[in-house]
């Protein structure tokens, strides 16, 4: 962020809000504020990683947390589930009487989140988080501890002192324990017949084996620590002092190497050994509905990820209709660039294979790709105040996905800034295969993940100084991914493709992707589709490469429902915008509409509808005053 802000505590934590200008006058805490304080502290105390991600002050997080990782044991997970059910019961016991307008909004947001979390807590297998994420498989190729923790320590564990370095080593030792805890939970699930499909096991094994085969000195935990320590000694230090510091840093690195060699790598080996034993008992059925109470599991996952009550059949049909409409648009766009023969997917594949739109598979090609991304980001930022009343204070950095995580990660992704401003938002670009990152598709991904997409949406939510901290920690997939997809559409509407017909085809293809996901996710989990059927459908629809499509399908298998949030969220934002435009006529203000959508933080879609419904008459009154 542009200006560093600190967390201040009023009274016993007051409303747990970010302070922008020094300590506030202590005021009595209301019963509602007390509950918010209790819930926030409980959630943060349970997740040192969440506290680190947001750079929360230790006193707000229930004490120091910088040398700890989340407890991933079965006992901790059961406590997490019980706490989610209890919090929902406590919230339902609160009366809205006497609450301010802002507090009623917070109550409505928490009611949706806590209700969905409590429903997800009913399932005693897989992965569950305090803030509602629900996934069926503990060990997978997407987001298990062995994948997440190297990136977490690299991005979110700053080292500015010897104490920070010691804390890093304690966390490194805890990483081995975290991997073992997940392996044991996966083992317990497997005894009940809950295991990933064979192809997911093989994907995960490939990643584990890659880590195991990496020399200790090249392990990301070690290379990250080395880089952090290289920036620590003051350059003006006297030679004797510098020598002592360098010796100490060599000691830290030696200890890190020992921990990785003796604990972290063996934990990966134990996870791989377990999964190899499961291969003979696994099949290729991708459906979560094959698991215990699987139909209810999928229903709960859809509710969490979409904040709607739409059924799988309804979502599937929405997807098919949107795919058909986009195929008509793509047919016209492709004809305009001379591609007139064959199905749309076939013509898209032909376009993707055109070497004119590929970056060279060289380091120079990768550098040019990142430079092009940065140029597009800068172009949006230079004009953004025309369409947004408030812009983020947080900086944005463009980075490549670390090499150790490339195989299991999507083409692009975004990691939000810290609340206190010490860490920027990060737009990650995966450079594992430049045939997947073409000049056709990349611009649209920039608009979705970076600006005006997730960076605007996430950073502005974190910068709501007067919103309770718990509101800024909660996320809603349909809102955030819906905004990202809407941002793609907005870039098209604002003529960012005016001189780039090939890039506009990429935009339409990405819209097609998100529509097809509705059909594929529900097809896999509710309609009996096989993995190959899902891959064939997506390749035929999008013309994308097998490797890109297979990675996406495998993601839907291990994270049911998440892929449905994009299109359903976009549809709702566009519906509300057009409803506002019709109601307001000449008084419609795009900047004002965007501020309504973005400046209340992440909300479930029904709450977003209510916010827009309240804004329309407010805007009408403002326009009337301006005319009089």
Are residues 376 and 275 both part of a single domain?
no
Q: What is the mean pLDDT of residues 8-35?
A: 48
626, part of any domain: no
pLDDT of residue 408: 57
pLDDT of residue 3: 32
Q: DSSP state, 24?
A: P
* Pairwise CA distance, residues 96 & 348, whole Å: 53
Strand arrangement of the beta sheet that strand 425-429 belongs to? 396-400, 425-429, 412-415
pLDDT of residue 10: 24
Beta-carbon contacts of residue 20 (< 8 Å; ≥ 6 apart): 5, 465
pLDDT at residue 11 above 50? no
Which among 499, 484, 489 is positioned nearest to 569, based on CA atoms? 484
Are residues 384 and 519 both part of a single domain?
yes
Three-state secondary structure call for residue 546: helix
Are residues 199 and 339 both part of a single domain?
no
* Pairwise CA distance, residues 355 & 439, whole Å: 10
Question: Taking the model in full, what pTM does it have?
Answer: 0.90
Segment 465-485, tens digit of pLDDT: 888 999 988 899 999 999 999
204 touches 196 (CB < 8 A): yes
Q: Find how far residue 374's CA is from the centre of its chain.
A: 21
pLDDT of residue 20: 28
Segment 368-418, tens digit of pLDDT: 999 999 999 999 999 999 999 999 999 999 999 877 667 657 789 998 888
pLDDT at residue 228 above 60? yes
Q: What is the mean pLDDT of residues 518-537?
A: 98
Q: What is the mean pLDDT of residues 315-323?
A: 98
608, part of any domain: no
Q: Give the CA-trace dihedral at 545, 550, 553, 555, to 10 degrees.
A: -120
- Of the candidates 569, 584, 604, which is a domain's last residue? 569
| pLDDT > 90: percent of the chain | 82
Helix (H) or strand (E) holding 510: helix 501-526
Give the chain's end-to-end CA distance (angstroms, integer).
40
226 touches 252 (CB < 8 A): no
Band of pLDDT at residue 8, cut at 50, 70 and 90: very low
Segment 559-588, tens digit of pLDDT: 999 999 999 999 999 999 999 999 999 999
CA neighbours closer than 13 Å in the CB half-sphere of residue 103: 16
Are residues 459 and 313 both part of a single domain?
yes
**What secondary structure, in 3-state letters, does 213-253 show?**
HCCHHHCHHHHHHHHHHHCCCCCCCCHHHHHHHHHHHHHHH
pLDDT of residue 436: 83
**What secondary structure, in 3-state letters, does 376-422 show?**
HHHHHHHHHHHCCCCCCCCCEEEEECCHHHHHHCCCEEEECCCCCCC
597 touches 298 (CB < 8 A): no
Q: Find how far residue 522's CA is from the centre of its chain.
A: 21
Structure tokens at 473: 């920690």
Domain span at residue 499 reads 295-569
Are residues 450 and 529 both part of a single domain?
yes
pLDDT of residue 55: 84
Window from 51-65, 208-222, 357-371, 385-399 with minimum mean pLDDT = 51-65
Q: What is the mean pLDDT of residues 149-170?
A: 94
Which residue has tokens 């007139």?
340
Window from 183-192, 294-303, 545-554, 594-603 with minimum mean pLDDT = 545-554
Are residues 87 and 195 both part of a single domain?
no
Band of pLDDT at residue 235, cut at 50, 70 and 90: low
pLDDT at residue 487 above 90? yes
Which among 584, 590, 596 is positioned nearest to 623, based on CA atoms? 584
Q: Which stretches within 265-311 are classed as H helix?
A: 265-279, 294-306
Band of pLDDT at residue 31, cut at 50, 70 and 90: confident
pLDDT at residue 419 above 70? yes
pLDDT of residue 354: 95
- Of the candidates 528, 550, 569, which is a domain's last residue? 569
pLDDT at residue 9 above 80? no
Structure tokens at 425: 């938002």
pLDDT at residue 37 above 90? yes
pLDDT of residue 428: 95
593, part of any domain: no
The angle subtended at Cα 88 by Cα 36 and Cα 420, nearest 5°, is 35
430 touches 370 (CB < 8 A): no
Beta-carbon contacts of residue 88 (< 8 Å; ≥ 6 apart): 114, 115, 117, 118
Q: What is the mean pLDDT of residues 136-146?
A: 97
Judged by phi (left if over 0) then psi (alpha if -120 to 50, else beta), residue 396 lies in beta
More confident residue, 610 or 17: 610
pLDDT at residue 19 above 50? no
Are residues 318 and 370 both part of a single domain?
yes
Q: What is the mean pLDDT of residues 102-125?
A: 96
Which among 184, 185, 197, 183 is positioned nearest to 291, based on CA atoms? 197
pLDDT of residue 309: 97
Are residues 491 and 562 both part of a single domain?
yes
pLDDT of residue 234: 59
* Pairwise CA distance, residues 330 & 1, whole Å: 40
* Pairwise CA distance, residues 135 & 291, whole Å: 12
149, part of any domain: yes
410 touches 444 (CB < 8 A): no
Q: What is the mean pLDDT of residues 156-164?
A: 93
Are residues 470 and 507 both part of a single domain?
yes
606, part of any domain: no
pLDDT at residue 233 above 70? no
493, part of any domain: yes
pLDDT at residue 14 above 50? no
Are residues 275 and 421 both part of a single domain?
no
The angle subtended at Cα 445 by Cα 524 and Cα 412, nearest 5°, is 70
DSSP state letters, 109-129: HHHHHHHHHHHHTT--SSEE-
Query: What is the biggest distance separating any 2 CA atoms in the chain, rounded to whole angstroms?
Result: 77
pLDDT at residue 237 above 60? no
Q: How many domains does the chain have?
A: 3
595 touches 391 (CB < 8 A): no
Residue 67, CA distances (Å) to 48, 129, 276, 378, 579 in order: 8, 20, 33, 37, 50
**What secondary structure, in 3-state letters, does 315-374 show?**
HHHHHHHHHHHHHHHHHHHHHHCCCCCCCHHHHHHHHHCCHHHCCCCCHHHHHHHHHHHH
589, part of any domain: no
11, part of any domain: no
Are residues 400 and 504 both part of a single domain?
yes
pLDDT of residue 2: 32
Structure tokens at 444: 């649209």
Are residues 359 and 501 both part of a single domain?
yes
Structure tokens at 177: 């324990």
> Phi/psi of residue 429, each to 5°?
-120, 125
- Of the candidates 267, 290, 313, which is a domain's last residue? 290
The 10 Å Cβ neighbour count of residue 557 is 27
The angle subtended at Cα 597 by Cα 593 and Cα 598, nearest 5°, is 115
Band of pLDDT at residue 16, cut at 50, 70 and 90: very low
* Pairwise CA distance, residues 344 & 133, whole Å: 36
Residues in the chain: 628
The angle subtended at Cα 85 by Cα 82 and Cα 89, nearest 5°, is 135
């Amino acid at each position: 962020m542009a200006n560093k802000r600190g967390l201040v505590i009023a009274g016993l934590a007051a409303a747990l809000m970010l302070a922008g200008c020094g300590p506030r006058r202590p005021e009595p805490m209301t019963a509602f504020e007390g509950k918010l304080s209790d819930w926030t502290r409980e959630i943060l105390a349970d997740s040192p990683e969440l506290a680190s991600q947001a750079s929360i002050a230790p006193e707000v997080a229930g004490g120091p947390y910088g040398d700890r990782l989340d407890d991933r044991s079965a006992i901790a997970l059961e406590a997490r589930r019980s706490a989610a059910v209890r919090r929902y019961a406590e919230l339902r016991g609160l009366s809205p009487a006497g609450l301010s307008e802002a507090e009623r909004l917070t109550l409505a947001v928490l009611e949706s989140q806590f209700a969905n979390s409590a429903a997800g807590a009913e399932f005693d297998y897989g992965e569950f988080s305090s803030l509602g994420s629900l996934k069926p498989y503990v060990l997978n190729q997407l987001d298990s501890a062995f994948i997440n923790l190297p990136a977490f320590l690299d991005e979110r564990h700053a080292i500015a002192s010897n104490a920070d370095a010691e804390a890093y080593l304690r966390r490194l030792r805890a990483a081995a324990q975290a991997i073992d805890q997940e392996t044991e939970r996966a083992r317990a699930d497997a005894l009940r017949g809950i295991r990933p499909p064979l192809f997911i096991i093989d994907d995960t094994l490939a990643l584990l084996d890659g880590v195991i085969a990496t020399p200790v000195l090249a392990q990301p935990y070690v290379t990250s620590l080395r880089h952090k320590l290289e920036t620590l000694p003051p350059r003006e230090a006297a030679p004797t002092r510098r020598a002592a510091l360098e010796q100490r840093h060599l000691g830290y690195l030696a200890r890190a190497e020992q921990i990785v060699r003796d604990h972290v790598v063996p934990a990966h080996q134990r996870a791989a050994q377990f999964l190899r034993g499961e291969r003979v008992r696994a099949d290729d059925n991708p459906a979560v509905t094959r698991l215990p109470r699987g139909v209810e599991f999928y229903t709960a996952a859809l509710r969490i990820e979409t904040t709607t009550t739409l059924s799988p059949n309804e979502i599937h049909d929405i997807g098919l209709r949107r795919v058909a409409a986009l195929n008509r648009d793509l047919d016209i766009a492709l004809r305009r660039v001379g591609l007139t023969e064959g199905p749309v997917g076939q013509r898209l594949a032909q376009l993707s294979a055109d070497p004119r739109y590929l970056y060279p598979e060289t380091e120079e090609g990768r550098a040019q790709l990142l430079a092009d991304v940065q140029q597009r980001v800068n172009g949006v930022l230079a004009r953004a105040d025309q369409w947004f009343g408030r812009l983020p204070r947080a900086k944005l950095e463009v980075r490549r996905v670390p090499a150790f995580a490339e195989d299991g990660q999507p083409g692009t992704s975004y990691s939000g800034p810290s609340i206190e401003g010490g860490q920027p938002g990060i737009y990650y670009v995966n450079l594992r295969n430049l045939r997947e990152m073409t000049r056709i598709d990349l611009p649209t991904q920039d608009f979705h993940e970076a600006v005006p997409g997730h960076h605007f949406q996430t950073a502005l939510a974190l910068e709501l100084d007067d919103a309770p901290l718990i509101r800024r920690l909660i996320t809603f997939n349909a809102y955030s991914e819906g905004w990202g997809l809407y941002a793609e559409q907005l870039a098209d509407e604002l003529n960012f493709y005016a001189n780039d017909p090939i890039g506009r085809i990429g935009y339409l293809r990405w819209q097609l992707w998100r529509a097809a996901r509705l059909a594929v996710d529900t097809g896999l989990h509710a309609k009996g589709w096989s993995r190959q059927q899902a891959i064939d459908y997506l390749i035929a629809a999008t013309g994308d490469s097998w490797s890109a499509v297979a990675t996406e399908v495998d993601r839907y298998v291990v994270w049911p429902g998440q892929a449905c949030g994009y299109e359903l969220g976009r549809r709702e934002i566009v519906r509300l915008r057009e409803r506002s435009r019709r109601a307001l006529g000449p008084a419609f203000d795009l900047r004002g509409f965007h501020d309504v959508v973005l400046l209340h933080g992440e909300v479930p879609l029904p709450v977003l509808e209510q916010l827009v419904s309240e804004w329309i008459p407010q805007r009408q009154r403002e326009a009337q005053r301006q005319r009089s």
